Chains A and B, each alone.
Chain A
Amino acid sequence: MATVIIPSLLRKLTGGRERVDVVAKNIREVVADLERQFPGFAAHLLDDGDIKGSIAVSIDGEMGTGGVLDRVRPDSEIYFLPAIGGGR
C-alpha cells in the first residue's frame, strides 16, 4: 500500500497519526481513501475536484505536475506540502 505522510496541522484529523496507508493508483484515489478513512479530509486538499492551488504534492521525492491525475505506486510515499513560491 502507498503511504501518505500527514502534514502536522492535519494530524488532528487522523487522531495524531503521521503515516497513513492508502490503496490507490493515483492521487485522486489517494484523496478518496483518505476521505474514506477520515471524513472531511478531502476538503483540506481539493478544490473543484483537483488539488488546491496552495498545495503541492510530492510523490517519491518528485513534485507532482498532474494534480489528482498523478500516478502512485503500491509502495509510494506521498506528501502534501504548501505550494512553493509565494510573494505574489
Chain B
Amino acid sequence: MAESTNGHYKVIGTRPIRHDGVDKVIGRAKYGADYAFPGMLFGKVLRSPHAHAIIRSINAEKALKLPGVKAVVTSADLPEAEDKTEQVGEAALNPRHLSMNILARGKALYDGHAVAAVAATSPHIAEEALRLIEVDYEVLPPVMTVEEAMKPGAEILLPNLRNKEEGDNPTNVAQHLQFKRGDLEAGFRAADFIVEREFHTAMVHQGYIEPHNAVGIWNADGQGTIYCSTQGPFEVRSLSAQVLGVPVGKIKVVPAEIGGGFGGKTTIYLEPLSLLLSRHTGRPVKLVMTRSEVLRASGPTSGSTIKIKAGCTRDGRITAAQCWLAYEAGAFPGSPVGAGAMTILAPYAIENLLVDGYDVVVNRPKTAAYRAPGATNAAFAIETVIDELAEKCGIDPLDFRVMNGSKEGTAQLIGPPYRRIGYIETVEAIKNSPHYKSPLTGPNRGRGVATGFWFNAGMQSSAVVNIHSDGTASVVTGSPDIGGSRASMAMITAEVLGLPITDVRPLVTDTDSIGQCDVTGGSRVTFATGTAVYEAAQDAARQLRERAARVWEKKPEDVELRDGMLHAKDASVAPMSIKQLAGRLARTGGPVSGRASVNARGVGPAFAATCVDIEIDPDTGKIQILRCTVAQDAGKAIHPSYVEGQLQGGTAQGLGWALNEEYVYDTEGHLRNTGFLDYRIPTCLDLPMIETIVVEVPNPGHPLGVRGVGEVSIVPPPAAVANAIYRATGIRMTELPMSPPRVLKAILKHGRGQEVQSAAAR
C-alpha cells in the first residue's frame, strides 16, 4: 500500500486493490449479456435502412407465422407519451421523443432507427423473423448537417417541433440559447489582435466495449424486472416506466457489471423493449445489440459547427469573445450545446462576450451524454484561437492562460462568481512539468497545450453502511461502478470508522434495495454518493458511540471513535475495538446500520490542462503521439490510482477525437463505418503512456474536498493536438478528426509537402 498523499488521512489517498478486481480478472463478474433464465426468449430489433422516411405500414403477419416466433411489437404497442420537457436525472427530456426513439412512430429518422422488435426461441429465428416483417417506407431526403438543417426551406424532421423565436413555423432548430455580457463592440475596438475562425467537429461515439443489453421479465402479478448494463438503474426504471406507461414502482432494475459507458449508458434503448416483449409472451426476453447496432442506433455525441471571434491587447489581455455554436442533436432535440455554450469561455475572465448556441435536429441517431458533453467540441475551437492570440502577442500559451485565467471570484460565463477553483494551479502544473520543460527536437514535430472545464454534478444519492457481527462493514449504494467508485466508497467508510480497507465490502445494489441514486455521470459518484457514504458512515459511528456508552453506562457524548477504537473521553475504562463492540450489538439494541440520503450541494468544478508532443509523417499526414501529459484538479484524490486512470482514459478518448474518430455517412444518410475496424478508436499501440499530474485544490463544498474527476480530461486533447500540429507545420487545423487524409490535404493545400519543418527544430 502506498503512502497517503495527505498525512491527515489513514486510508484516503492510498492505493488499495479494488474489491471487484478478482471477479473481473478471472471472468466471474456477471455482465448484462451473461444473465439467463429458464424459458428465456431472444429479442432482435428491426431497424430502418433509411435515414429519413415515412412509415406507411408495418406488416408482421409472415414473421408471426415463423415457428419459434412468439411476439412482434411496434410503436402501436406503446402508449402515446406526452409532448413536454421534464427533468430526469441530470438532463431534460421529452417523453414523446424518448418513446419515438425506442420505436419509430410514423417516421424513421435515422439509419438504424428501431421500427419493430421480435421475441423468438432463438436469436437466429428472431433474426429470420426480422426479414419477414414488411415495412412500406416513403423515403424522404435526409438532412445530415446543421448547415443543411438550419437553411430556410430545409426538409423538416419533426413536424411539431417549434422554437420560441420562429413562432408557429416548423423548424429543425429546437432551441437557441444565449449568454451576453458587457459591450462586445467596445471589447473588439480595444483589441490589438483579433482572430476569427470557423471549426467543425465530427459526430463521435463513446466506444464502450460492451454493447447495450437487457433482460426483461414481466411477471403475471404486474411486476417487471430488468437486468441490464447501465450507468443509471434508477433512470432506466423511471424512463422505462414512462415509455411503457406503468408506475415506477412496478419496475425493478438490477444493474449488471458494466463494460464501459462514458455517458452513453445513461438512457434507454432495449430495456423497455425487453419488458414489452416479456409482457407479450409471458417469458423472460433478452436483447443484446451488435456492434453495428451500437454505432448506428445508440447515442453518440454531437458533431458541431463553431465560429469564434476573439480579441486581445498587445500585452495579452483578452478584451472580447464571440462564439456561435450549432450542435447536431440527432433525430430528437437534446444536444449538449447548452453545456458547450456554458463551458466554452469558462476558463477565462472576459468582460465582453456573446455566446449563441443552437440545438439542431438532423437525420442521425439521437445523441446521448459523452464525458463532459459538449465541452470537447467547444474547447477544440476556443483553445485553438487562444493559442493563436498568445502567439500573436509573443506570449507563452500557458502564461497567456494564467494571465486571463478564471480564479475564485471571477464571474462565470453563466453569471455567478466562481468559488475556490484550481484553473491557475492546473495550468501551472503543466508549465512546471518535466514534460513542458523538456526540449522537443527533430523534424516534423510540435508541442501543443490546451485546457478545459467541466461543471461536475451533484444530484441525489443514498448509502447504507452496515456493521457486521465481526466488526467488518459493508457499504451499499445504487451507483454503478464505472471508474473504481466501489473502492472509493469503501475507503471513505474505512476512513470514517477507522477500519482497515480490507474490512469494508462495497456493494452496488438494485433499485428496490436502496434509496434513489441518480445516474453515474457528471463525475458525481465520488462527490455525491461519496457524501452520502460519508454521512452514512458518520451515522454508523454515532450509533457505535451510543452502544459503547450503553455498555460503559456513560453518555454518548462522552465517547469517541478513533482509529477503529471506542474511547471513553475520561479514559475511565479500557478502549474497545469496533470488533469487540460488534459482538455485543444484539444486547445493546440490535444491528447498527448507518444511512444517509443527499441531494448534494457544493459541487466543485474541474479543470484540466494537457500538453502533447506529436510527429507528423508529411507523406501520409499520420500523426504519432510522442508524449502526453495531463494535469487535472481533483479537489482531493480518494484513490489516486483511479483518479489517474480517469485522467488517462479521458485523455485517450480526447486523442481519439483528435486523430481518427468520426461517423462517416454517405449522401443517402447511411452510416458507413459500423464497426471498430472502420470507426477507429485509439488502441494501446497508438498512444504512449499518458503521464498524469493530480492537482489537489480542495472543494470547500465537500467534507473531504472531492470535486469529481471522470470527465474533464477529455476536453483539452483535440485542441492540444491541433496546436501541436501548428507548431510542427504552421498549419491551423479547424476540423476534427485530424485524420491522415485531412492532415495531408491541409499540408498539400498549404504547399508545404515535404518541406514541413518543426518549429521546435528551427
User: With contacts A82-B338, A83-B92 known, is A65 near B599, CB below 8 A?
Assistant: yes
Nearest CB of chain A from residue B523's CB, rounded to whole Å: 12
Option from B90, B263, B342, B368 in Cβ contact (under 8 Å) with A82: B342
Nearest CB of chain B from residue A27's CB, rounded to whole Å: 15
Tell me, yes or no, whether B188 is within 8 Å of chain A by CB.
no
Find out whether the CB atom of B180 lies under 8 angstroms from the CB atom of A86.
no
User: With contacts A8-B179, A77-B416, A79-B415 known, is A86 near B87, CB below 8 A?
Assistant: no
Nearest residue (CB) in A for B93 is A88
User: With contacts A8-B178, A81-B414, A82-B342 known, is A87 near B336, CB below 8 A?
Assistant: yes
Within 8 A of A (CB), among B82-134: 84-93
Tell me, yes or no, whether A61 is within 8 Å of chain B by CB.
yes
Option from B88, B302, B417, B455 in Cβ contact (under 8 Å) with A61: B417
Q: How many residues of B contact A (CB 8 A)?
A: 52
Which secondary structure dominates where chain B touches chain A? loop
Find out whether the CB atom of A60 lies under 8 angstroms from the CB atom of B335.
no
CA distance A81 to B339 in the complex (A): 11
Chain A 18-34 near chain B by CB (<8 Å), digits 1 or 0? 00000000000000000
Find out whether the CB atom of B415 lies under 8 angstroms from the CB atom of A86.
no
Find out whether the CB atom of A81 lies under 8 angstroms from the CB atom of B415.
yes
User: With contacts A9-B177, A53-B87, A79-B414 known, is A85 near B342, CB below 8 A?
Assistant: no
Nearest residue (CB) in B for A77 is B416
Find out whether the CB atom of A84 lies under 8 angstroms from the CB atom of B176.
no
Find out whether the CB atom of B86 lies under 8 angstroms from the CB atom of A53.
yes
Find out whether the CB atom of B342 lies under 8 angstroms from the CB atom of A84.
yes
Tell me, yes or no, whether B698 is within 8 Å of chain A by CB.
no
Option from B164, B338, B602 in Cβ contact (under 8 Å) with A86: B338
Nearest CB of chain A from residue B354's CB, rounded to whole Å: 8
Tell me, yes or no, whether A14 is within 8 Å of chain B by CB.
no
User: With contacts A63-B601, A65-B599 known, is A87 near B299, CB below 8 A?
Assistant: yes
Residues of A contacting B657 with CB < 8 Å?
Answer: none
Choose, from B147-155, B369-377, B582-590, the stretch at the interface.
B369-377
CA distance A85 to B367 in the complex (A): 12
Option from B87, B178, B267 in Cβ contact (under 8 Å) with A83: B87
Q: Which of A7, A53, A62, A88 has its CB near the most chain B CB atoms (within 10 A)?
A: A88
Find out whether the CB atom of A84 lies under 8 angstroms from the CB atom of B337.
no
Nearest CB of chain A from residue B373's CB, rounded to whole Å: 4
Sorting the interface of chain A by its residue count into under 10, 10 to 19, 20 to 34 or 35 or more gives 20 to 34
Residues of A contacting B299 with CB < 8 Å?
Answer: 87-88
Find out whether the CB atom of A53 lies under 8 angstroms from the CB atom of B88.
yes
Chain B 715-733 near chain A by CB (<8 Å), digits 1 or 0? 0000000000000000000
Find out whether the CB atom of A88 lies under 8 angstroms from the CB atom of B267.
yes
CA distance A54 to B164 in the complex (A): 14
Nearest CB of chain B from residue A62's CB, rounded to whole Å: 6
Chain B 594-608 near chain A by CB (<8 Å), digits 1 or 0? 000001111100000
Nearest CB of chain A from residue B643's CB, rounded to whole Å: 22
Within 8 A of B (CB), among A50-88: 52-54, 58, 60-63, 65-66, 77, 79, 81-88
CA distance A84 to B711 in the complex (A): 14
CA distance A78 to B359 in the complex (A): 25
Tell me, yes or no, whether B458 is within 8 Å of chain A by CB.
yes
Nearest CB of chain B from residue A60's CB, rounded to whole Å: 7
Nearest residue (CB) in B for A44 is B164
Tell me, yes or no, whether A42 is within 8 Å of chain B by CB.
no
Option from B84, B91, B341 in Cβ contact (under 8 Å) with A85: B91
User: With contacts A8-B180, A82-B338 known, is A47 near B601, CB below 8 A?
Assistant: no
Tell me, yes or no, whether B457 is within 8 Å of chain A by CB.
yes
Residues of B contacting A88 with CB < 8 Å?
Answer: 88-93, 266-267, 299, 334, 368-369
Option from B87, B180, B603 in Cβ contact (under 8 Å) with A63: B603
Tell me, yes or no, whether A2 is within 8 Å of chain B by CB.
no
Residues of B contacting A84 with CB < 8 Å?
Answer: 90, 338-339, 342, 455, 457, 522
Residues of A contacting B370 with CB < 8 Å?
Answer: 87
Nearest CB of chain A from residue B520's CB, rounded to whole Å: 13
Residues of B contacting A8 with CB < 8 Å?
Answer: 178-180
Find out whether the CB atom of B458 lies under 8 angstroms from the CB atom of A86.
no
Find out whether the CB atom of A65 lies under 8 angstroms from the CB atom of B416.
no
Chain B 686-704 near chain A by CB (<8 Å), digits 1 or 0? 0000000000000000000
Find out whether the CB atom of B373 lies under 8 angstroms from the CB atom of A86.
yes
User: With contacts A84-B339, A87-B369 known, is A58 near B301, CB below 8 A?
Assistant: no
Tell me, yes or no, whether B419 is within 8 Å of chain A by CB.
yes
Nearest CB of chain B from residue A29's CB, rounded to whole Å: 20
Residues of A contacting B266 with CB < 8 Å?
Answer: 88
CA distance A9 to B90 in the complex (A): 23
CA distance A53 to B92 in the complex (A): 5
Residues of A contacting B367 with CB < 8 Å?
Answer: 86-87
Tell me, yes or no, whether A5 is within 8 Å of chain B by CB.
yes
Nearest CB of chain B from residue A80's CB, rounded to whole Å: 10
Residues of A contacting B602 with CB < 8 Å?
Answer: 62
Find out whether the CB atom of A62 lies under 8 angstroms from the CB atom of B601.
yes
Option from B85, B339, B414 in Cβ contact (under 8 Å) with A52: B85
Nearest CB of chain A from residue B233's CB, rounded to whole Å: 15
CA distance A86 to B267 in the complex (A): 11
Option from B92, B415, B603 in Cβ contact (under 8 Å) with A5: B415
Nearest CB of chain A from residue B419's CB, rounded to whole Å: 6
Nearest CB of chain B from residue A11's CB, rounded to whole Å: 9
Option from A7, A62, A63, A86 in Cβ contact (under 8 Å) with B336: A86
Residues of B contacting A7 with CB < 8 Å?
Answer: 177-178
Residues of B contacting A85 with CB < 8 Å?
Answer: 89-92, 336, 338-339, 369, 373, 457, 522
User: With contacts A58-B414, A81-B342 known, is A86 near B91, CB below 8 A?
Assistant: yes
User: With contacts A53-B92, A54-B92, A65-B599 known, is A86 near B85, CB below 8 A?
Assistant: no
Within 8 A of A (CB), among B455-506: 455, 457-458
16 A-B interface contacts by CB (under 8 A): A8-B179, A53-B85, A53-B87, A54-B85, A54-B87, A58-B415, A60-B416, A61-B418, A63-B603, A77-B416, A84-B338, A85-B90, A86-B336, A87-B368, A87-B370, A88-B334
B residues sitting closer than 8 Å to A (CB atoms) are: 84-93, 164, 176-180, 263, 266-267, 299, 301-302, 334-339, 341-342, 359, 367-370, 373-374, 414-419, 455, 457-458, 522, 599-603
In the complex, the 3 A-B pairs of residues with the closest C-beta atoms, listed nearest first: A53-B87, A85-B91, A86-B336
A residues sitting closer than 8 Å to B (CB atoms) are: 5, 7-9, 47, 52-54, 58, 60-63, 65-66, 77, 79, 81-88
